[in-house]
Structures are given as structure tokens and as C-alpha cells.
Structure 1
Amino acid sequence: MAEPATEGEEAPKKKSKLPILIGLVLMLLLGGGAFYAMYSGLIFGSSEPAAEGEAAATAEGGGEHGEGGEGGAGLPGVAFVALDPMVISLNDAKARHLRFSAQLEVAPAHQAEVEALKPRVMDVLNGFLRAVEMKDLEDPSALLRLRAQMLRRVQIVVGEGKVNDLLIVEFVMN
């Protein structure tokens, strides 16, 4: 049988919480170090060949923000074709107008072809924007949807693979 506790003996001691605290502190330090290593690129960062390619492109382009070959803005292989600004009367009860201007991002090899087809591009964009209803223009996400639709129409007119993107410079209703 178990003997009753005598006056000279003490109750069993509780386990110390020191190992749990040390483990928690180490976990936080190691987690923070891992985050910093990944965030700064020490782990899974850019490889050496990519860094050398960036240095070569910078040296070739005349600096980070300098003129870069045919691209113009430090982007080799990109040219921009500016479209003339348009003022389009919208079809609603109020006499409202839309001021629109854009640029087409093209490969330098196709820049002359796209420049030659600029009147057709302007006609397609003008016809499309006149057909757009006012409620579609007032929607906050309308610009992204309209941009995608206009880009598709421009690509059809100019030809596949010649226009990479449509950059909207001005889109103002008054």
C-alpha cells in the first residue's frame, strides 16, 4: 500500500516551462530568418545568369532609364505607335463626350505596318466607342473590359501577332 506523506517529504514539483519558452523563441527567430532569406532572395532568389542578363541589358540600353535601342524606353524589342486623340459624342440624353487617346505596343519589325493601318484602327475604335452605352462606361471595371475588347478589334484589323497591347493614355468623360 501507499504510505501517507510524512511531514518531512514535499509534494512533487511541477515541470518547468523554460523548455517551452526556449522552443517558442527559437521558432520565432528561425521563422523570421527564413522569411528574410526568402524575401531578400538569398533562398529561391534570382539566379546568376538572370542577373548577368539584366546587367547586359542595362549596359546595352544606356542605363536603367535611358534610351534602349529601338524600344525607346529601355525595353528592347518594343515600339509604340501613338493614336491620334479622339473626341467621341456618347449616345445619351445629355450631350456628353468622351476624350480618348491611346498607344499601341508593337514589335519594332511591325511598326511601319501598324503605322500604315492607323486610319483603319482609328475607324474601328471610333465605331466601337460610339456604340458603347453610357451604363457600361459608368461601371468601375468597365475600362479593363473595354480595353480588352478594343485590343481584340485592333488585332483583327492589323493582323495577329503584330500588336501586343493597347495602352490607354486618356479616357475622360465630360
Structure 2
Amino acid sequence: MLGGVVMAVLLGGGGFYAAWSGMILGGASDQSAEGVAPGPLTGIAFVPLETMVVSLGADSNSRHLRFTAQVEVADSAAADVTLLMPRILDVLNSYLRAVDTAAIEDPGAMAKLRAQMLRRIQIVTGEGRVRDLLITEFVLN
């Protein structure tokens, strides 16, 4: 019996030390925090889109959508994407005018709309130029 108590105390103490020192549960080590510093971001650029005010479809009772975004591009493609900006704005304007107001008001709509707009931008600019669409303003009046 005494052997069981001693064994329990030793195992309990060993478990406490292992958890306290970070051997278990992945505690942060001072060495790992010092060794890796994030490098500078390179090869990335953001091209701002002009703010768009789009009147929505016929059933919208003169409702408007105010939309602002930025396009994430490879640094080398920023000039090309800027040159194609009139086409990008045209395709977004055409798409947003065709979207039903009820679809915009849906809580899950933002992800779907963003994916649709990004795909249209990628078609206009050509594959590999545009990485992402970052929506910074999306207000329905």
C-alpha cells in the first residue's frame, strides 16, 4: 500500500512538472520565440478600386449599394491590373446591378458575392494576376 502511495506521489509530481514546464500541452519555449522573426512582405501589392454606388434591380425601390474594395495582386502585376481598371469596374457594376436585393440581404451572401466578383475580375485580368478581393465597404441603402 505504501508503495502505491509513493508511486502516486511520484507520478503526480512528474505530471505536474511536465505540464508546468511545457513538455505537455505545448508550452511556448523561449528559444523558439527568439529564433524566428517574420521577414518583410515582398511580392504583394494592393490596387484600390474606386468606390462604386450601384442602383439595384427594378424590385429594389430605388435602393443603392455602396461598394469599396481592394484587389490583392502580385507586385509585378499591379501596373497591368491598374491599366485594366475600367474593365474591372464595368464587370463589377454589371454583376452587382443584376444581383437581387434579397440575395444581398442574406447573412451568408458576402462570401458568395465576393467569390463571384473575384472570379469575374480574374477573367477580365487574366489568370494569375489577381489573388484576392478584399471588400472594405459594403453598405445597402
Normalised by the shorter chain, which TM-score bucket? Answer: 0.7 to 0.9
Give the 5 Å matches for 1:16-165: 16=2, 17-33=5-21, 34-35=23-24, 38-41=26-29, 45=32, 51=36, 54=38, 57-58=39-40, 75-91=41-57, 92-165=59-132
Residues 139 and 22 (structure 1), Cα distance of their counterparts in 2 relative to 1, 3 Å cut: farther
Which structure's relative contact order is higher, taking Cα pairs within 8 Å and 6+ residues apart?
Answer: 2
Equivalent residue in structure 2 for 1:171, among 113, 135, 138: 138
| Cα-Cα RMSD | 2.5
Residues 31 and 135 (structure 1), Cα distance of their counterparts in 2 relative to 1, 3 Å cut: same
TM-score (normalizing by structure 1): 0.68
SS in 2 for 1:137: helix
State the one-letter code of the partner of 1:108.
D
Q: Structure 2: where are the runs of 5+ without partners?
A: none
SS in 2 for 1:103: strand
Superposition deviation, residue 164 in structure 1: 1.1
Superposition deviation, residue 141 in structure 1: 2.1
TM-score (normalizing by structure 2): 0.81
Superposition deviation, residue 28 in structure 1: 3.1
Higher mean C-alpha deviation, range 109-118 or range 27-36: 27-36
CA distance in 2, matches of 1:163, 1:117: 12
| Deviations, residues 15-58 of structure 1 (Å, cap 9, x unaligned) | 2445324423421331342246x342569x5895xx36x3xx45
Superposition deviation, residue 168 in structure 1: 0.7
Residues 93 and 131 (structure 1), Cα distance of their counterparts in 2 relative to 1, 3 Å cut: closer
Residues 76 and 145 (structure 1), Cα distance of their counterparts in 2 relative to 1, 3 Å cut: same
SS in 1 for 2:11: helix
Rg (Cα) greater in structure: 1
Structure ranking higher in helix proportion: 2
SS in 2 for 1:101: strand
Superposition deviation, residue 135 in structure 1: 2.4
CA distance in 1, matches of 2:80, 2:60: 40
Q: Structure 1: where are the runs of 5+ without partners?
A: 1-14, 59-74
The number of residues matched between the two structures is: 137
